[in-house]
Structure 1
């Protein structure tokens, strides 16, 4: 019997932070270069693996392939190798440069949509999607795991894919829990696009995005930031909570969103100009569209520069999913019985209506609904208890009364 070949989802645990990764060395270089080395890691965790089976398989293939033949392509795929457009000097800093193959697949097959009209083109023809495969080790820590239980919004997937295909900066905004970031991550997971996700705060500095000088082993060296890394290797850069960022940070993104090189004036000469890789993509998410918080729910978000936001080629407000989709998520993610999933979704929609009418100051997200379903199951089917623990107990006293009345009508005592 043939052994099952490892996949990009087969990762190892980093003992430093618990992250699931493919290569300890690359993870340390990207996240702990100023405090950890591979030698220290091996000394402190002698039994911990340094490479995943997937990474080891790739390395073994590279070592055995003295004269590699062109990979056989499936019926709907064509494979083409790509190398990042890296300056020659940069090879000294990041050996290997990274590689992958390119293919195409039909969207309705790739995302398991089935043979539904909404997942095809206007004339009913399949929509072709670009897919990246056979990634080298440099990309592996940033590949997203495919969530087989994730329920996609077909319309949103189409808009994300259009932004990727046309290489347009994408802005997704909307209330918390609408799945903005997760949608992008899962599209990238299915299409094989590595992801660099950066969480923005009001205290973030420009150097945390583009790079900075650090001291390592008594020597100073320049450590590239996440934006520069994503541009060099062709990763999808997710600027999360974009409306929390200060103007000094968002200004860094403006030339990048125009497709221009990133100029790092303080970097050494060979890293001063970072030319974007052909597969680099820029995505931002936020709770507002940059024009301020109209709800009062998102303290810390800033009124943003209109010129900066005008550079987003595709902007989409992401709403909560329809009832049938949210019920499917509760059944898939929490194991809730169909009838109880329907009740939880009904409760959530009543709360959202009360929020829109100004009767309650907070709304409920799918994340909180999943928690409520899981807790309800844990307490033997006590769904009211699940709602209280996951959502209602965090509400102001008057809001909790309103939520309690809604829950009483749906779940009973």
Structure 2
């Protein structure tokens, strides 16, 4: 593990490209839990400063945004530039209290089977200089969420009832979460499986940051960096991003029930390089995911951005 306390300083302007004179604490050496640095990542100033407040001032930060906005990646990339160990946990419906806190397990000791308590991810992280990130926070089961209630308090002590122990968090333990909603449930039908969050628990988050999609120029630059084969095709990538923006506006207006995230745009660009045709790749990457009643709207978006119809092109014919 790294040093028990940050032993380095990082300038926000240099590390994150944000117009700020802030200097934040960091670790000088990474360990195996520090994420890899993504040089192509673009930081949202407001969300990044909120996350930095979480790392430097031990604030509990919840990042909310639609899918594909890069919520979890934002936390990881801030941690990567601070050399701060970071562990992500998906709070899906199969995660139980025992998974988080720990359970008794049968192990071999000196050739004999004995029952021993095995710590879960929460006690393990609480005792270390680790940033623990709960992904899909609004999809966690209600009975599981109350396990985290005590961690959100100011002192954040964790009580292990099975062990009659109270764990005091490491001074550099940090807690973050990402969610598609703000705890109001699946209002628009887009995120099946999310839960309505207990307001008393939601109120315990010190900072709630909202992350939106990137500006078009930044998204274009990211797609070209992620798909080097299209690096010289800026006009093509610009049309892809423009179409993605139309789907997002259509979603907000109620014309579409789904939208294109930056992740989908990158997949579309990669498939365009594979099949050699933007129309065929678009159908495979996004159009086929849409409801049949909405496909004429999607085809109209394609025609507006590319100046041609979304013809039924065979992917195999396009690839040849």
TM over 0.5: yes
- 4+ long deviations beyond 4 Å: none
> What residue in structure 2 maps to residue 323 of structure 1?
216
Q: How many pairs are equivalent?
A: 300
CA contact (8 A) 1:206 1:249 kept: yes
Match of 1:108 among 13, 33, 51: 13
How many Å separate the matches in 1 of 2:281 and 2:302?
11
Alignment correspondent of 2:315: none
Q: Decide which of 79, 86, 93 is 1:188's aligned counterpart.
A: 79
Q: Contact 1:234–1:276 at 8 Å: present in 2 too?
A: no
Report the alpha carbon displacement of residue 155 of structure 1 after superposing the two structures with TM. 2.6
Rounded to whole Å, the distance in 1 between the matches of 2:86 and 2:170 is 14
Structure 2 residue matching 1:263: 3-state secondary structure = strand
**Partner residue of 1:64?**
none
Pairwise CA distance, 1:101: 5.2
Q: Does 1:151 align with 2:151?
A: no
1:202 positional shift:
2.2
Please tell me whether residue 238 in structure 1 is matched to residue 133 in structure 2: yes
Q: Secondary structure at the match of 2:26?
A: strand
User: Within the alignment, does 1:262 sit opposite 2:152 as a pair?
Assistant: no
- Aligned residue number for residue 284 of structure 1: 177
In structure 2, the gaps of 5 or more residues are 310-320
Alignment partner of 2:280 out of 385, 393, 408: 385
Alignment correspondent of 1:49: none
Structure 2 distance, partners of 1:134, 1:357, is: 48
In 2, the alpha carbon distance for the partners of 1:257 and 1:353 equals 36
2:201 matched to which residue of 1? 308
Contact 1:379 1:385 in 2 (8 A): yes
Partner Cα distance (1:278, 1:386) in 2 = 49
On the 8 A contact 1:196/1:226 being kept in 2, the answer is: no
Determine if contact 2:50/2:61 at 8 Å carries over to the other structure: no
Question: Alpha-carbon deviation of 1:386?
Answer: 2.1
Contact 2:34 2:83 in 1 (8 A): yes
Partner residue of 1:134? Answer: 29
Shift of residue 373, structure 1, vs aligned partner: 0.7
Cα distance in 2, alignment partners of residues 178 and 343 from structure 1: 19
The C-alpha deviation readout for 1:275-300, integer Å capped at 9, x for no partner, is: 10111111111111012222210111
Q: Helix, strand or coil for the counterpart of 1:142?
A: coil
**Could you tell me how far apart the structure 1 residues matched to 2:28 and 2:107 are?**
34
User: 2-side partners of 1:403 and 1:348: how far apart?
Assistant: 10
Which residue number in structure 2 is paired with residue 177 of structure 1? 68
What's 2:313 paired with? none
1:221 aligns with 2:116: yes
Cα distance in structure 2, aligned partners of 1:234 and 1:262 = 15
- Report the Cα distance in structure 1 between the residues aligned to 2:188 and 2:211, rounded to whole angstroms: 16
Task: Name 2:55's counterpart in structure 1.
Answer: 164
In 2, the alpha carbon distance for the partners of 1:341 and 1:230 equals: 41
- Seen in structure 2, the aligned counterparts of structure 1 residues 253 and 362 have a Cα distance that, compared at 3 Å, is same
TM-score normalised per structure 1:
0.70
